[in-house]
Structure 1
Amino acid sequence: MPYVTGFPRIGEKRELKFALEKYWNKEITLNELQEVAKTLRKRHWKYQKEAGIEFIGSNDFSFYDQMIDTIVMVGAEPEEYNDLDGLDRYFAMARGDKTHKALAMTKWFNTNYHYFVPILHKDQNFSLNLDKVISEYQEAKALGIETEVNLIGPVTFLALSRTSDGSNPLDLLDRLLPIYQEALNRLEKIGAKNVQLDEPALVRDPDEKLLNALQKSYETLKADDLELFVVTYFEHANEAVEILVDTSVDGIGLDFVHGPKNIESVEKIAKSGKKLIAGVVDGRNIWVSDIEKKVEFLNALPIDKDRLVVSTSCSLLHVPYTLEYEEKLDSNIKTWLAFAKEKLNELRIIDKLYRSKELGEDEALLEANKKANATRKSSTQIHNKSVQDRLANLTKEECERSLPATRRLELQHEILKYPILPTTTIGSFPQTKEVRAIRKAYKDGVMSEEEYKEKIKEQIRYCVKVQEDIGLDVLVHGEFERNDMVEYFGEFLEGVTFSQNGWVQSYGSRCVKPPIIFGDVSRPEPMTVEWITYAQSLTDKPMKGMLTGPVTMLNWSFVRDDLKRESVYKQMALAIADEVKDLQEAGIQIIQVDEAAFKEGYPLRDENKNEYERVAVESFKIATAVAKPETQIHTHMCYSDFNDIMPTIDAMDADVISIETARNGNRLLEAFKNYNYQKEVGAGVYDIHSPRVPSKEELIKEIEKKIQVFPASKLWINPDCGLKTRKWDEVIPALTNMVEATKEIRKRIVKL
């Protein structure tokens, strides 16, 4: 009984991404957008059906995000969007528009997927809108495919929500449960057979209130003619299972790849008579399964085979579509990989072997699987003795900066002489069609290296001039040579490779193509020095060198699973350290080592957090310890909560950290204040994910709010994040207003 928890939705050639962007640009109609979506859903259901998957999901498709879909389903759209309806309201919540700010966005547990945070209040009313859910179920039914209906569960929906009045979202459970019950009743009425209720909030360390909400939810929700499956993933959910086995749910989904302790709950599920949806095929990484080991594991579980369903560990949303288009991957490495479509075959074969069925034509696939696992273990492509020796012999000087931060900042102020409330950006500037065309032409071999470099330099010259004209204090080169902040660096590193078409959705139409770290990592030659030193030659103002940190490189990559993760982190850190050294020797005085994914890599259980923090901090410090005291090290972290990790951020020992504070108000900045943070902080004053241009007056108010919370003497002013997704006609007025607003505030400070 193979079961897929969810399937990617952006399209194997990013069809939905391109259709969405055309729709937003008014290049196609709503009907044309809907047709693209319908085509993709049909294709994805067909793939699963043809692969022999028995449990195929509907409503795992989304135009932007499944949490926004759920906001719409339960009628929880904030009042400020009431002047809109339909997709206009939907996309305003996701992206903002000229008169609406977008909802806050943050990471989906410890993945690189982003969800949008529901904003509720203590008097919240809910109402059911099941149109999308029913439409997609019936769409599949018309194709001859019976689907299980995927819904975000009520506990997770409330646990991931925030309130505008400080109340606890879980207090709204009594109001929300009737909406879910009505949804189940309507699904029963139209003939649905199975409903999957995603409850990943249950894998965190649960408090009593969450567990009480869980118990009440699944003792209340009933469906005589529906099988209800509560599915968890990313960690173990043993406390939740204790409760769920005594409710009326029919099956419980557990992730045995990333939550090995889930094995402690199997016997309880077996005794309850419920189905175990056993997540054994990794939905978050791309390495080929060891099918025989998976079957051996399943056979050892103390549960009857007719009660066990073989499943993915989580939705396949987190992996690319298929290896079918990968023509340039090393032939050996390609055999070690399995993307979403290949994982469907793994599920089918594991299920057949587990149930002692004849393999038939799958016998050849099983033999190929055995061979791939054997060659991966013995391959000489993976190991580099010099990298291993360097890591084994690290010195103290390679792990710690030579002066404390307060003294370093004094030196840096003397040298750099930037004003109070210095202005800068996070790094990237608009990646226009022209820029992408230049990179593509060079990559395809139709443009010479000499011509390519000159065209990139033209973009840098324009970018530097724009920044100087606007009056920014610290400039950047714009990153026009970079396709992605992780992919670009990965292309220079040994032990790392790339797919051609391995795109994964990050949010909305934003996709990334993660590097594949398959072996020992090293940096054979400089990666950024040529571009950044050229940019510095164009201006007397400080130019930031822009690098991606080791923690983010790993958290946004598919990481080898045959070596302890700590070793891979530190190998990457040494590679970044080599680049920091070269940049400062080339005269670059400010170097930003971005750790955008630092928080998202956190384990979901407290028992594992200390070890992650130790390794992540040590890795960042190895990457930056080579910096001289007068070299200012910046870092950037985006769309994360920091209240619980302030000592860790402090221990990273960056001189300046920039954070997102536009969508979330001053909540994140207050964490730095409450901690009495002594280094400097760049506060994001406007949301770069929205096309709206904030006015000077609006930004003055934003900056005033910041300096009421954090000392102006330690505060930098910047946008929330990089500007690559925006247009020049949005960026220039927004940054101009930001600089003018900052100058106005400086005048007031001087008068005081």
Structure 2
Amino acid sequence: MQTQNLGYPRIGSQRELKKACESYWAGATGYKNVLQVGKNIRRENWELQKNLGVDVIPSNDFSFYDQVLDHSLMFGAIPKRYNQVVVKEGNNELDLYFAMARGYQKEGLDVIAMEMTKWFDTNYHYLVPEFYKNQPFKLFSTKVIDEFYEAKQLGIVTKPVLIGPVSYLLLGKEKEAGFEKIDLIKNLLPVYLEILTRLKSLGATYIQFDEPFLVLDLSEKEKSAYQTVYQQIKKAFPELKIILATYFGGLEDHTDLTCSLPVDVLHVDLVRSPEQLAEVMAKISKEKILSLGIIDGRNIWKNDFEKSLSTINTAIEDLGKDRVWIAPSCSLLHSPVDLEHEKNEEVLTLEIKQWLAFAKQKIAELSTLKQLANHEDLTSAKEKFVQNKLAQQSRKTAPLIHNAAVKSRIESINEGDAARSSIFEERRQKQQEALKLPAFATTTIGSFPQTPEVRSWRAKLKKGSFNQAQYDQLIAIETEKAVRWQEEIGLDVLVHGEFERNDMVEYFGEQLSGFTFTQNGWVQSYGSRCVKPPIIYGDVKRPEAMTVKWTSYAQSLTSKHMKGMLTGPVTILQWSFVRNDQPRSATCMQIALAIRDEVVDLEKAGIKIIQIDEPAIREGLPLRKAQWKDYLHWAVKAFRISASAVMDETQIHTHMCYSEFNDIIDSIAAMDADVITIETSRSQMELLHAFANFNYPNEIGPGVYDIHSPRVPNQEEMVHLLKKAATVIPKEQLWVNPDCGLKTRGWDETKKALIEMVEAAKTMRNN
């Protein structure tokens, strides 16, 4: 029995990649420095996995920004608007790559970034490939080949990892009518064959093809494409060992199809879908190896060795030891790097730490399970098994996990708790009278830039260099500056800027019981953006008000309306590492009640507009439509519970970004938020068609500029987008706002963009 890993975190143990890229973008360091940092991370990752005993180690799992973007560059799927970036003197392939990811606005050029959306049901974002009818592909970037050779020079023969041809096409978007993206497979497959030829010549034995769409609903044409692709690959390269990796769900009705494909190793996710094992074992052909994804690649809980060994032994009894591999369920991209960096017991207690495993520890678990299953080095392995069993028992019985009062409150929830007093039309009339906002009302999504200076205050408070009074004074000054500036440029609904907040989920988790945190538990969200998800280990409760202090202070500075800014229960759930000892829905309801208490306190403090952000509600949707109904029922209910205990005059906003809404628009309407703000600028307002076709009844703020790109759009561009929006949504329902919060942007670009945005709203009012 062998071990394999599907992918390892690429940010570096101390976020070296983030720092190198951001330094390069700022012009502080050169091209060669970024390349060297990437090379160092790859070497460290390969050597670590080798030293920990991984038998089949991945390459090409590293990326400077996004693995899907890597493939678009590799296949020459480069939108024509970037041609000018290529010919600019001094630009290199990496500059082109970053322009596709972030946009390009210098040297007289102004090019928008590619669209970005969520990677299946994770909080990772990928760059959406753009496809055109009869689009040609060619081998443009040799990254996958170069990195295989790089590892080989270090004495490590890796398995190159590629997104499978079918999944790559399905990840993209048709940018013109008259064709289906899957029809491009005949143009794309020859490039894959060329890559395999090059890899084979360098000595590659195993090639991993990631085909996560095999756990989604597929059309007949897409199913046929899978058969065509892998038959042709096998015919052209009978000696290569093809690993087909599926993850994030079970094969279900695609089991027959997948098991019939001519590949050598089939990987299945037994964390998300343990029940699929029996059917897959019954249908997999005798010459194939089955890779068991038994270690959770998306959560941080220590593996249950006893349970995993039972699964492994079942597979070995059925298939034989030589036909069984073990692996994490998916790439470890979604896990923090190394638990050993968590040194501060005041942040993460030893009791909770003993229940956790990060990427490095998961690789070690893999090796231990192999030893136990193969009966190798049993003295050491058995000792680890005993320690693992004690940790599992400790977690089940720990008193700090359970809160009887919280459980009792959950049981007493009734339907009335999830409904506003009046229907939207009645509320809207009362809100118009109370708020007196103009047409095309302007606002922002919540946060303003967190400068290095602001972040340093928080660090000094944690280190004890500042006391609370000193810190509060600085935050108060920064908040007042933001309020005065918003008044100056003429925004209609203001925000306090969130200068006291580290992260939109972490900030709330720090004030809720049942949560704990890490110092270095960073995971990549997109590009250089890394987040430290809180860990929900127990029952959730709000001990005291979390946002009233700073929101009330900001409101006291202005006669304009100040929005209360909260993160919604589904998003807090999705963007945390969640306990796996009870249903996710139960944990979500606990969070909903905590947010409900905060909403009530904000209203009591005189806040008339309260935003409850739910950018992750679409992300949490199960990958199979058959499972949507149950999720949407409890997700919508959780939001409504959090939002419904206020008067009709209090306006509830929500915010969503980087999601496709077409299939769940009725559930979004069922959330019954008075105003929804959404990301639409990268898609040039395409997302609004879902709201128009549904005849969305409530008010909506389509984002008019992309905050994930450093480029600053002008007034004319925003007016153009608003006019497009007004063709599908009645103008009486429209708000004007950015796509998302502005925390990661600089003040200079933020000020320029918001001034242009306010002027765009004025233009629309005068039309």
Q: TM-score, structure 2 length as denominator?
A: 0.96
Deviates more, 1:301-310 or 1:341-350: 301-310
Paired AA for residue 293 in structure 2: G
Q: SS state of the match for residue 349, structure 1?
A: helix
TM-superposed CA distance for 1:620, in Å, is: 0.5
Paired AA for residue 429 in structure 2: E
- Which residue is 1:229 aligned to? 243
- Which residue is 1:633 aligned to? 652
- 1:23 counterpart = 2:24: yes
2:299 corresponds to which of 276, 285, 293 = 285
2:740 corresponds to which of 718, 721, 725 = 721
In the TM superposition, 1:463-502 aligns within 5 A as 463-502=482-521
2:148 corresponds to which of 137, 140, 152 = 137
TM-superposed CA distance for 1:266, in Å, is: 2.3
- Which residue is 2:90 aligned to? none
Alpha-carbon distance between aligned partners in 1 of 2:459 and 2:322, rounded to the nearest angstrom: 52
Q: SS state of the match for residue 664, structure 1?
A: coil
Alpha-carbon distance between aligned partners in 1 of 2:217 and 2:130, rounded to the nearest angstrom: 23
TM-superposed CA distance for 1:187, in Å, is: 0.6
Alpha-carbon distance between aligned partners in 2 of 1:312 and 1:394, rounded to the nearest angstrom: 38
Paired AA for residue 83 in structure 1: Q
1:217 corresponds to which of 224, 229, 243 = 229
- 1:598 counterpart = 2:617: yes
Alpha-carbon distance between aligned partners in 2 of 1:661 and 1:264, rounded to the nearest angstrom: 44
Alpha-carbon distance between aligned partners in 1 of 2:740 and 2:260, rounded to the nearest angstrom: 46
Q: SS state of the match for residue 254, structure 1?
A: strand
Instruction: Give the share of equivalent positions with the same residue, in percent.
Output: 50
- Which residue is 2:84 aligned to? 83
Q: Give a deviation string over 1:354-404, Cα, whole Å, max 9, x none.
A: 223333433332221111001001100100011111111124442221111
TM-superposed CA distance for 1:633, in Å, is: 0.4
Deviates more, 1:728-737 or 1:134-143: 134-143
- Which residue is 2:676 aligned to? 657
Alpha-carbon distance between aligned partners in 2 of 1:247 and 1:501, rounded to the nearest angstrom: 41
TM-superposed CA distance for 1:247, in Å, is: 3.4
Alpha-carbon distance between aligned partners in 2 of 1:624 and 1:244, rounded to the nearest angstrom: 44
Alpha-carbon distance between aligned partners in 1 of 2:383 and 2:22, rounded to the nearest angstrom: 42
Paired AA for residue 529 in structure 2: R
Q: Give a deviation string over 1:437-480, Cα, whole Å, max 9, x none.
A: 11111111110111100100111011111111111100000000
In the TM superposition, 1:187-198 aligns within 5 A as 187-198=199-210
Q: SS state of the match for residue 160, structure 2?
A: strand
- 1:100 counterpart = 2:116: no
- Which residue is 2:160 aligned to? 149
Alpha-carbon distance between aligned partners in 2 of 1:272 and 1:591, rounded to the nearest angstrom: 60
- Which residue is 2:89 aligned to? none
Instruction: Indicate conservation of the 8 Å contact 1:284/1:314, yes or no.
Output: yes
Q: Give a deviation string over 1:549-608, Cα, whole Å, max 9, x none.
A: 000000000000011221101000000011001100000000000001110000001121
TM-superposed CA distance for 1:269, in Å, is: 5.0
Alpha-carbon distance between aligned partners in 1 of 2:206 and 2:252, rounded to the nearest angstrom: 23
Paired AA for residue 39 in structure 2: K
Alpha-carbon distance between aligned partners in 1 of 2:255 and 2:238, rounded to the nearest angstrom: 21
Q: Give a deviation string over 1:661-680, Cα, whole Å, max 9, x none.
A: 10112221111111111110
In the TM superposition, 1:610-621 aligns within 5 A as 610-621=629-640
Instruction: Indicate conservation of the 8 Å contact 2:704/2:738, yes or no.
Output: yes
Q: SS state of the match for residue 721, structure 2?
A: helix
Paired AA for residue 225 in structure 1: E
Q: SS state of the match for residue 485, structure 1?
A: coil
- 1:118 counterpart = 2:137: no
- 1:322 counterpart = 2:329: no
Alpha-carbon distance between aligned partners in 2 of 1:395 and 1:239, rounded to the nearest angstrom: 37
Instruction: Indicate conservation of the 8 Å contact 1:245/1:268, yes or no.
Output: no
Deviates more, 1:664-673 or 1:278-287: 664-673
Instruction: Indicate conservation of the 8 Å contact 1:666/1:709, yes or no.
Output: no
TM-superposed CA distance for 1:11, in Å, is: 1.0
Instruction: Indicate conservation of the 8 Å contact 2:372/2:382, yes or no.
Output: no
Alpha-carbon distance between aligned partners in 1 of 2:500 and 2:240, rounded to the nearest angstrom: 53
Alpha-carbon distance between aligned partners in 2 of 1:6 and 1:248, rounded to the nearest angstrom: 23
Paired AA for residue 159 in structure 1: L
2:323 corresponds to which of 307, 328, 341 = 307
Q: SS state of the match for residue 420, structure 1?
A: coil
Alpha-carbon distance between aligned partners in 1 of 2:659 and 2:619, rounded to the nearest angstrom: 7
Deviates more, 1:419-428 or 1:135-144: 135-144
- Which residue is 1:516 aligned to? 535
In the TM superposition, 1:304-383 aligns within 5 A as 304-327=320-343, 328=345, 329-383=348-402
Structure 1 residues 187 and 240: alpha-carbon distance in aligned structure 2, compared to 1, 3 A threshold: farther
Alpha-carbon distance between aligned partners in 2 of 1:445 and 1:653, rounded to the nearest angstrom: 44
In the TM superposition, 1:508-587 aligns within 5 A as 508-587=527-606
Paired AA for residue 375 in structure 1: S
- Which residue is 1:206 aligned to? 218
- Which residue is 1:419 aligned to? 438
Q: Give a deviation string over 1:516-567, Cα, whole Å, max 9, x none.
A: 0000000001110000000001111100000000000000000000112211
TM-superposed CA distance for 1:278, in Å, is: 1.0
- Which residue is 1:254 aligned to? 268
Instruction: Indicate conservation of the 8 Å contact 1:421/1:716, yes or no.
Output: yes
Alpha-carbon distance between aligned partners in 1 of 2:410 and 2:258, rounded to the nearest angstrom: 46
2:174 corresponds to which of 124, 143, 163 = 163
Paired AA for residue 606 in structure 2: G
Alpha-carbon distance between aligned partners in 2 of 1:237 and 1:470, rounded to the nearest angstrom: 54
Alpha-carbon distance between aligned partners in 2 of 1:92 and 1:569, rounded to the nearest angstrom: 38
Alpha-carbon distance between aligned partners in 2 of 1:608 and 1:556, rounded to the nearest angstrom: 21
Instruction: Indicate conservation of the 8 Å contact 2:685/2:702, yes or no.
Output: no
Instruction: Indicate conservation of the 8 Å contact 1:666/1:705, yes or no.
Output: yes
Alpha-carbon distance between aligned partners in 2 of 1:104 and 1:65, rounded to the nearest angstrom: 13
Paired AA for residue 300 in structure 2: I
TM-superposed CA distance for 1:260, in Å, is: 2.6
Q: TM-score, structure 1 length as denominator?
A: 0.98
Alpha-carbon distance between aligned partners in 2 of 1:427 and 1:130, rounded to the nearest angstrom: 39
Paired AA for residue 110 in structure 1: D
Deviates more, 1:723-732 or 1:124-133: 124-133
Alpha-carbon distance between aligned partners in 2 of 1:609 and 1:326, rounded to the nearest angstrom: 37
Instruction: Indicate conservation of the 8 Å contact 2:214/2:258, yes or no.
Output: no
TM-superposed CA distance for 1:240, in Å, is: 3.8
Q: Give a deviation string over 1:489-524, Cα, whole Å, max 9, x none.
A: 000000100011100000100001001000000000
Alpha-carbon distance between aligned partners in 1 of 2:188 and 2:415, rounded to the nearest angstrom: 55
Alpha-carbon distance between aligned partners in 2 of 1:35 and 1:363, rounded to the nearest angstrom: 41
Alpha-carbon distance between aligned partners in 1 of 2:13 and 2:698, rounded to the nearest angstrom: 44
Alpha-carbon distance between aligned partners in 1 of 2:55 and 2:381, rounded to the nearest angstrom: 17
Q: Give a deviation string over 1:63-120, Cα, whole Å, max 9, x none.
A: 0000010001111111111123311110011000211111000000000000110001
- 1:296 counterpart = 2:313: no
Q: Give a deviation string over 1:391-444, Cα, whole Å, max 9, x none.
A: 111244422211111111111010000011101000010011111011111111
Alpha-carbon distance between aligned partners in 2 of 1:496 and 1:519, rounded to the nearest angstrom: 7
Instruction: Indicate conservation of the 8 Å contact 1:124/1:172, yes or no.
Output: yes
Aligned residues: 748
Instruction: Indicate conservation of the 8 Å contact 1:460/1:478, yes or no.
Output: yes
Instruction: Indicate conservation of the 8 Å contact 1:103/1:663, yes or no.
Output: yes
1:266 corresponds to which of 272, 280, 283 = 280
Structure 1 residues 189 and 238: alpha-carbon distance in aligned structure 2, compared to 1, 3 A threshold: farther
Paired AA for residue 192 in structure 1: A
